[in-house]
Amino acid sequence: MKKFITKMQGRSESDKRIFAFWTASMLTLLIFGIWLLNFISVFGNSNNSKVAVKNEANPLSALFGEIKDTISAPTKVYQNK
């Protein structure tokens, strides 16, 4: 790692910017890929396609219920497989 840092210090500013751009791009792509896999696992489940309409009197309880369902959905998907 020290060799790499020393090698990068000796390069031009444009090379450093190109390296920073591609490193940031790859990390962004990795995060997007993880998000996309989670999105598919939550909304790709056939059990979630049937939406039941409830009369919720309290919006906060509905919000917390949806957050709880969203967090627990990926584990339910993998347990069913």
Instruction: Give dist(CA 74, CA 77) in Å, integer.
Output: 5
pLDDT of residue 52: 55
pLDDT of residue 7: 87
Type of residue at 64: F
74 within 8 A of 45, measured Cβ to Cβ: no
* Band of pLDDT at residue 78, cut at 50, 70 and 90: low
Residue 40 has pLDDT above 70, yes or no: yes
* Band of pLDDT at residue 22, cut at 50, 70 and 90: very high
For tokens 């709880």, the residue is: 68
Residue 31 has pLDDT above 70, yes or no: yes
31 Cβ contact partners less than 8 Å away, ≥ 6 residues apart = none
Type of residue at 62: A
- Quick one: average pLDDT of 43-65? 65
